Amino acid sequence: MIRFISFLCVWLLPLFAMASSAPEVALRLVDGTYRPGDMLELQAEMRGVDYAEFELHVPANTQCHFVTQTREPVRYVEGVYVQRVLLQLQPLSAGDFELNDITVTIAQGGEVRNVALPTVSFTVATYAAEDRSEAAAELGAGVSLLAQASNNLRIIIAVLFIVLMVVWWLLRKVNTKPVKTAEIELGLSDLIVALEGNAPSFPPCDPDERKRRSEADERKRRSVGSKSVATLGTLHGGSELTSMMIAEQLLARADLSMSSALRKDLEAAVYANRLNSGVLLQLLREEVQR
């Protein structure tokens, strides 16, 4: 019995040693949410104390397009050889997928063996699937705030446009509004003042005539009051009010009564340009004395 146990130990110990040093291969799919057309990454990783080489074999799938297969450089980490192969897949439609019959070929110490790997399952979502993530909620809130800001900007621009149009209309109305000229109701005394300002000296006269002129001047000053020649000298926004203009206004007044001789002389001065200041002043003073 002891001999039999010793015989088994001699044969089994090398097998256990070989099993402990045999490399291990793991297969995993990078986690994520995938939709048709996205890239999926399948990773096959082999770790072993002794150096070995391996090849990954994935059967073709009608619903997946194999894009690339990349082998990373061998790494030696804490006494273990680490090798990795990356396989990129592109699903063509939505649904549940299973990658079956995946195998690896391991070559070590002149020996080659095939190892079957477990089935890889994954799900490809549709684009119609609702995204309830916080990022989607924040994106929706940002879009809503942007739309609200855009609407507020449109309202502000419209209000400013209306205000500018109203201001433009008011300014245009003010600019096109006719300027009202100051209408001064003039009398005979005003014409006397104007004629005396234009013709300060007159032909000599007798003492009685000088006395009558002095009395007429006194009455004229009382009737005019505080009205000055400078005030009478502006009309229609500041233009000079001449004797001819005053005479024309006196002729146009229907409520002003005057002698026929005075009216005839005024008409001759205004319409025939025959102005005799001395005679006209004498007639005006006589008219004022009445």
The pLDDT tens digits of the residues spanning 71-117 come to 999 999 989 999 999 989 899 888 888 888 899 899 988 889 998 88
Whether 223 has a pLDDT exceeding 60, the answer reads no
**Closest among 132, 83, 127 to 105, alpha carbons compared:** 83
The span from the CA of 12 to the CA of 150, in Å, is 80
> Residue 104's beta-bridge partner residues?
56, 115
pLDDT at 2: 60
Q: Which of 3-7, 30-34, 43-47, 59-63 has the lowest mean pLDDT?
A: 3-7
State the Cα–Cα distance between residues 87 and 263, nearest whole angstrom.
Answer: 122
Type of residue numbered 105? T
| Range scoring the smallest mean pLDDT among 35-49, 126-140, 163-177, 180-194 | 126-140
- The answer to whether residue 42 scores a pLDDT higher than 70 is yes
Residue 1 above 60 pLDDT?
Answer: no
9 has a pLDDT exceeding 70: no
Checking if the pLDDT of 31 tops 70, the result is yes
pLDDT at residue 202 is higher than 50:
no
pLDDT (mean) for 246-259: 85
Distance separating alpha carbons of residues 169 and 276, to the nearest angstrom: 53
Cα distance between the two ends of the chain: 177
Predicted confidence at residue 32, as pLDDT, reads 82
pLDDT value of position 80 = 93
User: Virtual CA dihedral for 125, 131, 132, 136, nearest 10 degrees?
Assistant: 150
Whole-angstrom distance, CA of residue 183 vs CA of residue 206: 39
Dihedral sign (CA 154, 157, 163, 164): negative
According to DSSP, the residues that pair with 151 across neighbouring strands are none
For residues 231 and 213, give the distance between their C-alpha atoms in angstroms, rounded to a whole number. 23
Percent of the chain with pLDDT over 70: 70
Give the alpha-carbon dihedral of 189, 194, 200, 201, to 10 degrees.
-60
Residue that has been written with the tokens 């146990």 in this structure: 5
What domains does the chain contain, in order, with CATH numbers? 21-124 (2.60.40.740), 188-289 (no CATH)
Does position 260 have pLDDT exceeding 50, yes or no?
A: yes
| Length of the chain measured in residues | 290
What mean pLDDT do residues 176-184 have? 53
What percent of the chain stands above pLDDT 90? 13
Q: Taking residues 60-66, report their average pLDDT.
A: 85
Q: Please, what's the b/e burial string for 103-120 (b: 16 or more CB within 10 A of its CB; e: otherwise)?
A: ebebebeeeeeeeebeeb
Could you tell me the two tokens for 206? 């007798």
What number is the average pLDDT over the span 9-34?
66
